[in-house]
Structure formats: C-alpha cells, structure tokens
Chains A and B, each alone.
Chain A
C-alpha cells in the first residue's frame, strides 16, 4: 500500500506509463521524486487557491448573515461566482508601485508572505496516506515557515515608504514577538504528550476511542488548555480580529498593504486565508484528532459487526473529517472577526506575554509530568 501522496502519484504515473508500454522504473529516482513532488505541490497550490477563494466568499456571506444583510448573492448560485468576478477585476487592475518605494523589496514582500503562508501546506496530513511530505520535523517546519510571513510583512511595511505601512509592519513585529512563544509552548505540550514532531504520527497516535483519544481530551487538562493557547496565538499569527493590528483600518488606514494594489494586494489577501487555514488545520491535527472522525470509521461492535474501510474510502473519509474540522475552525475565526472589536497594541503583548505564556508553561510542565508518570 502506498505511503504518502508522492508515492500515490508515483504509483499512478507508473501505472499510466505501464499502459502505454513504458517502464517508469528506468527513469532516475531523483527525477521521479522531483516530478511527484512538483505535482503534489501543484495540487496543494490549487487547493490553497480554492480554499482562499471559497473563504473569500464565505467570509462575505457569513459577515452578511451576522450583520443582518444578504452578502454577495447575485453572481452564480449563492453568489459563489462573485470571487471569480472579483479575481477578473483584480487581474486587469493597474499595478501601482509608489515612486518613493523600494522597488525590489516592494515586489519581494508579497512573494515572501505567500511563501510563508503556503509552505506549511505540504506537511499537513489530510488522511493517513494523503500527505505531500511526511517530514519527521513537520511541526517545526510549519512553524518556521509561518514566521517567514512576518518577514515579508515587515518588508512590505518598510518598502512602501509610507508611515502607516511602517506602523503596520512594526506592529506585526511586536505581535510576532508575543505570539510565537505561547504558540511554541502549546506545540511542545503536544510533542511531549505524543513524543513526535511528525504531524502524521501525531494524528496516528490519536486513533482509538471516538473523540476521547484526541489529544485535546486525552491530555486533559493540559492539551485542552494548550489548544486555546495555540488557537489564540494562531489567530494573532494570521492577523485576524481581534488581533488585526497590522492592518487596523480605523487606525493605520490599511497597515502594511496600504500602498499595494491589484495582484500584489490579492496575494496578501490570499495569504491571510492560507495562514488561517494552516492555523486551523494545525489545531485540528495537533489537538482535534486530525483525520479521525468523531465516529471511528473502523467499526468493531461486539465482534459481530466488523467493517473496515478500504484505503481509498478511508482516505476520502479522512479528508472529509480533516477539511471539515479545519473549515469549522476557520468559520470560528470569521465569527470572531464580525463580532469582536480590536485589541490595542499593548493589550496583545500583555495577553500573549502575561497570560498565554504562563498558561503555555503550565501546560508544558503538566504534560511533562504526565509523560513521566505514565
């Protein structure tokens, strides 16, 4: 049985070429791996675009519902094609770079931001088999790349040569200093509980009795607390309300992307949704049992009913579970955004440093003690 997504892709290519009568095994191994990785990454890129587009639409619909109005509902069924229309509009927009901006960094910034938002997708497991790259340091990789996004944002703020942009960039710098630490502590709590940094293994560990084997309940109360720490820190990381200080419209106009327009602005926009998805998916993977459903899809009752899903079906079910959990957590983010005001810059530092960090340390110490005892 194939192990990961790249193996599946290789298998598919091999079979396809075999039908035509070519032997795929004769191709050098490096090439085969490279091709499979490229295809897998392409698929993930497509997935990111779909998620971002879908949530661009969902955000407006949810906002509409919360604000007692309709939201986009004219273009296509339920307004689903609204985003396509917007994408076309944005594509034909003039790309403006301010005369006084640092042209090179101004162009580089959105790329870095998108890279930081997209890179963690390759280690997110969708099911036991559907992982692009089964890195043994998956969590570490995802968190490091998420930090890259901050560099891009600060770069954008600086390169724009606009005081408001600079404020946005510096705000995120202050924000990152605060949220990265509790985020790391929360992740460590899970790492201590499960003994792995590989996302796939962490999820595999959570298989068992319905929802009670999920980390959030298995490691109760430490992992339970850690989940909130992680989610809040992640919320700050994805620059969403109530932590949307770097782009606070009412204060610093549009923050770091004040001077961005057209496609470059959209890249920031897409990255925000991509980061939201990464945070949600990581929360699901680390705490909420990843691809395991609330009802295990391997059923064994009284030894009478025994049914095991095949590899394809279990991959599908896992995908549905995983995406469902991630989307639900993203929906919670939208819900926050359209309900809460924004915190102040000193308050977010206070919250992260004086509330979340001690909480994270407590979680980590508690989890370590548990790990020692059992």
Chain B
C-alpha cells in the first residue's frame, strides 16, 4: 500500500530584513506550500521611545522628533503637533501660517503617496514605477529644500506659525510641479494602474469589508478604500480645510470588490490629484500677513489636556497631550495610523498566497517609524 506523502506546515520568518516589509517589520508566516495560513506581524524593531522622549523635552523641542515618526510625511506630523500644542496654550496662529502649513502638508501627502505608488509597483514586481514615483517625489523634496532647507525631516511648522515664508520663486516652482504632476498622473496609470497583470495581482485580493475596517479602527486610504467616506479633513475640519474645495475619494471596486488592494491603491492615486487641486487653491488664495506669531521662548502651559487629530497620508494621526503646568508634557500619546492599520494584517492575510501577503502589506502602506514610534 502506498503511504500518502506527508506534508507539513512550515513557519517562515519574513523580515525584519526583507525587501518588501517596509523597513523592519517582521512577519511570521505559517505556510503550507505557497499558501499562507496565517500571518503574525511582530513590531518593535524601530522603537525609539518617542512618547517617553516627549516627557523629557519641551513642547518646542519635541517638534523635530515628530519629523521622525512617519518620516515620509514630516510636514503632516509637524502640523499635528503644532496644532495640539497651540490648543493647549491658545496661541493665535496667523492666517498665512495656517495656509502655508496646509500647503506643506498637502505637498508632503503627494510625496508620500508617490512613494507608496513606487513601492507598491515594486512589490508587484515592476521596477519602473518606483523610479517614476521617485522622479516626481524628488521635485517635491527639492521644493521643500527651498522652502525650509531640509529634504526629509522638514521641521517646517513651528509652534505659532511656520519657520519661513514662502518665496515667490518657490511658489513658482510649486506651480510648475503641479502642472507637471497632472501630466505624470496619466502616465502612472498607463504604466501601472490599468496594467492587466497588476490588476489581476491586486483586484479581489485582501478584501477588507467596510464594517471590518471600522471595527479595526482603520483610517486613511485603507479605510476609504473599503468605501467609507471618512476623512478628518471633512469630518472634523481643521486649519484652512473648510475653505478649500476637495473631494473625499473612496474605493468603488472598479476592478474587483470594494476594499481590495487595487481600491486602496486607487484611493491613493485619486488623493494625489485632490492634493494637487488643494495646493493650487492654496497658492491662489494665500492670505498676506505674518507667518509667525509671537511665542515665548519657554512655553509654559496650564495643567490641561488636549487631543488633536489630523489626516496624515496614512490616516488619522492623533496627538494626546496631558500637561501638568510645566514646560514639558506630563504624558504624550501618539495615535499612529500605521500602527492601527497594520493590526488588520493578521485578519485579512489568511489562506492567501505568499505573493498576496506582500500585496496586502504594500496596500496597507505602513511606515515602521510610525508603527514603533
């Protein structure tokens, strides 16, 4: 009698050194041949005690640390922290500074989504989108270089304003970039979004139903990809967003099911276009005036607490500060969108192929600096 061949499930360690785990995420895969039965993400390889540091440095000094949370969207983190501190201290921010912050945040959103486009393409096996995405991101980075002198960790928004005014040359460079972006956007879709192989790799893969997405507390493009039109910029408007005209993009299941990898990817692509629109409006309607309010050297706040949430490229970024009346926060809690979004990986990456796990992880688009903090 022929004995049936014994097969076994094996555990494979994906990461922390792996080409497509976005830095130092470690996933343990339980695999049965090419089938992945379960995925457990292990985090903490990039833990830098950000929240503890916040208790040891002053409100003003913590700003550069926020650059390094989601290092692909520094301007958005700066904006969140500045708003949280300003709410505690009730500093009046000049109108022009508010608009400039939003301009920086939206440019940064484009840059972040471009990078996501590139790496997602790379994870699907296409190299060229990566270079295309980086080409345009490079322009944004150069614009930031002109704007605030830094290329990755901007530290542009400051408590009570921004560090430097927008020069006419920079404004011109931004306009040139926005016009170019309109053309490139079409090119990106020709290269990747509508590619048959790419669609087959991503459509109907890693579907997150809307109720599951809400139950897991997902935010940002991952939530909107599931068809939930929730955007802090619209749901709880802050800064100058109420004055701007833009759409909340949601996944519609154009190529497959609502909430699949392609939808999440497509929401990011649509958001690039919306951000371009927002940037144009800001450049057109930028109010005149000072760009920095008078802020005392040593910022003393009353014993109080504040929670400010903003829409970062990866979702809802929240800063919860409890102050005890000194110049340092008593406790700071950062609600990182990537961290919450990553929690769904174990739930949706089940009984799929190894290649699908990569696509799901890529479509969630985590930044480990933010997950581990």
In the complex, what residues of B have CB within 8 A of residue A339's CB?
Answer: 126, 128, 191
User: Is B229 in contact with chain A by the CB < 8 A criterion?
Assistant: no
A164 to chain B minimum Cβ distance, whole angstroms, is: 8
User: Is B175 in contact with chain A by the CB < 8 A criterion?
Assistant: no
| Structural contact, A244 and B125, CB atoms closer than 8 A | yes
| Given the contacts A341-B126, A342-B197, A163 and B355 also touching, CB distance less than 8 Å | no
Complexed CA–CA distance, A233 and B355 (Å): 21
In the complex, what residues of B have CB within 8 A of residue A268's CB?
Answer: none
Complexed CA–CA distance, A164 and B132 (Å): 29
* Nearest opposing residue in chain A for B357, CB measure: A251
| Given the contacts A341-B201, A346-B353, A251 and B128 also touching, CB distance less than 8 Å | no
In the complex, what residues of B have CB within 8 A of residue A66's CB?
Answer: 128
| Given the contacts A163-B10, A344-B201, A253 and B127 also touching, CB distance less than 8 Å | no
Top 10 nearest A-B pairs (CB, nearest first) are: A342-B125, A341-B124, A67-B131, A341-B126, A250-B20, A341-B125, A250-B123, A344-B355, A341-B198, A341-B197
| Structural contact, B201 and A68, CB atoms closer than 8 A | no
| Structural contact, B354 and A167, CB atoms closer than 8 A | yes
Residues of A within 8 A of B (CB-CB), count: 30
| Structural contact, B121 and A69, CB atoms closer than 8 A | no
| Structural contact, B125 and A338, CB atoms closer than 8 A | no
Complexed CA–CA distance, A252 and B354 (Å): 8
In the complex, what residues of A have CB within 8 A of residue B354's CB?
Answer: 167, 251-252, 345
Complexed CA–CA distance, A170 and B354 (Å): 13
Interface centre among A167, A251, A347 (most CB of B within 10 A): A251
| Structural contact, B123 and A343, CB atoms closer than 8 A | no
| Given the contacts A241-B125, A242-B197, A249-B19, A345 and B131 also touching, CB distance less than 8 Å | no
| Structural contact, A345 and B126, CB atoms closer than 8 A | no
A163 to chain B minimum Cβ distance, whole angstroms, is: 5
Proximity string of chain B (156-194) to chain A, C-beta cutoff 8 Å, 1 when within and 0 when not: 000000000000000000000000000000000001100
User: Is A340 in contact with chain B by the CB < 8 A criterion?
Assistant: yes
| Structural contact, A345 and B34, CB atoms closer than 8 A | yes
| Given the contacts A163-B10, A250-B20, A343-B197, A67 and B355 also touching, CB distance less than 8 Å | no
Complexed CA–CA distance, A69 and B10 (Å): 42
Complexed CA–CA distance, A242 and B121 (Å): 13
| Given the contacts A69-B131, A251-B354, A251-B358, A340 and B12 also touching, CB distance less than 8 Å | no
In the complex, what residues of A have CB within 8 A of residue B192's CB?
Answer: 341
* Nearest opposing residue in chain A for B121, CB measure: A341
User: Is A63 in contact with chain B by the CB < 8 A criterion?
Assistant: yes
User: Is B231 in contact with chain A by the CB < 8 A criterion?
Assistant: no
User: Is B48 in contact with chain A by the CB < 8 A criterion?
Assistant: no
Complexed CA–CA distance, A241 and B122 (Å): 12
User: Is A248 in contact with chain B by the CB < 8 A criterion?
Assistant: yes
Proximity string of chain B (198-233) to chain A, C-beta cutoff 8 Å, 1 when within and 0 when not: 101100000000000000000000000000000000
| Structural contact, B125 and A68, CB atoms closer than 8 A | no
Proximity string of chain A (247-277) to chain B, C-beta cutoff 8 Å, 1 when within and 0 when not: 0111111000000000000000000000000
In the complex, what residues of A have CB within 8 A of residue B123's CB?
Answer: 250
In the complex, what residues of A have CB within 8 A of residue B33's CB?
Answer: 170
Complexed CA–CA distance, A88 and B195 (Å): 39
| Structural contact, B353 and A345, CB atoms closer than 8 A | yes
In the complex, what residues of A have CB within 8 A of residue B200's CB?
Answer: 343-344, 347
Complexed CA–CA distance, A68 and B18 (Å): 27
In the complex, what residues of A have CB within 8 A of residue B191's CB?
Answer: 339
Residues of B within 8 A of A (CB-CB), count: 30
Complexed CA–CA distance, A345 and B36 (Å): 13
> Within the complex, which residue of A250, A340, A344 is in contact with B19, where a contact is CB–CB below 8 Å?
A250
6 A-B residue pairings within 8 Å (CB atoms): A67-B128, A67-B131, A171-B34, A251-B355, A341-B124, A341-B125
In the complex, what residues of A have CB within 8 A of residue B34's CB?
Answer: 167, 170-171, 345-346
In the complex, what residues of B have CB within 8 A of residue A344's CB?
Answer: 200-201, 353, 355-356
Complexed CA–CA distance, A338 and B122 (Å): 11
In the complex, what residues of B have CB within 8 A of residue A337's CB?
Answer: 127
User: Is B243 in contact with chain A by the CB < 8 A criterion?
Assistant: no
* Nearest opposing residue in chain B for A252, CB measure: B354
* Nearest opposing residue in chain B for A245, CB measure: B355
User: Is B333 in contact with chain A by the CB < 8 A criterion?
Assistant: no
Given A341-B195, A343-B197, A347-B201, output 9 extra A-B contacts at Cβ < 8 Å. Answer: A67-B131, A68-B131, A68-B135, A167-B354, A241-B126, A242-B197, A251-B20, A341-B197, A345-B34
Complexed CA–CA distance, A251 and B359 (Å): 9
| Structural contact, A242 and B132, CB atoms closer than 8 A | no
Complexed CA–CA distance, A249 and B195 (Å): 20
Complexed CA–CA distance, A343 and B197 (Å): 6
| Structural contact, A340 and B18, CB atoms closer than 8 A | no
* Nearest opposing residue in chain A for B197, CB measure: A341
| Given the contacts A340-B195, A343-B197, A343-B200, A248 and B125 also touching, CB distance less than 8 Å | yes
* Nearest opposing residue in chain A for B119, CB measure: A250
| Structural contact, A67 and B127, CB atoms closer than 8 A | yes
In the complex, what residues of B have CB within 8 A of residue A342's CB?
Answer: 124-126, 197, 201, 355
| Structural contact, B197 and A250, CB atoms closer than 8 A | no
Complexed CA–CA distance, A314 and B313 (Å): 64
| Structural contact, B355 and A248, CB atoms closer than 8 A | yes
Complexed CA–CA distance, A248 and B122 (Å): 10
* Nearest opposing residue in chain B for A242, CB measure: B197
| Structural contact, A340 and B126, CB atoms closer than 8 A | yes
Proximity string of chain A (50-91) to chain B, C-beta cutoff 8 Å, 1 when within and 0 when not: 000000000000010011110000000000000000000000
B263 to chain A minimum Cβ distance, whole angstroms, is: 17
Complexed CA–CA distance, A164 and B358 (Å): 14
In the complex, what residues of A have CB within 8 A of residue B12's CB?
Answer: 163-164
B206 to chain A minimum Cβ distance, whole angstroms, is: 13
| Structural contact, B135 and A343, CB atoms closer than 8 A | no
In the complex, what residues of A have CB within 8 A of residue B126's CB?
Answer: 241, 339-342
* Nearest opposing residue in chain A for B10, CB measure: A163
Proximity string of chain B (1-28) to chain A, C-beta cutoff 8 Å, 1 when within and 0 when not: 0000000001010000011100000000
In the complex, what residues of B have CB within 8 A of residue A163's CB?
Answer: 10, 12
In the complex, what residues of A have CB within 8 A of residue B127's CB?
Answer: 63, 67, 337-338
A247 to chain B minimum Cβ distance, whole angstroms, is: 10
Complexed CA–CA distance, A244 and B201 (Å): 14
* Nearest opposing residue in chain A for B354, CB measure: A251
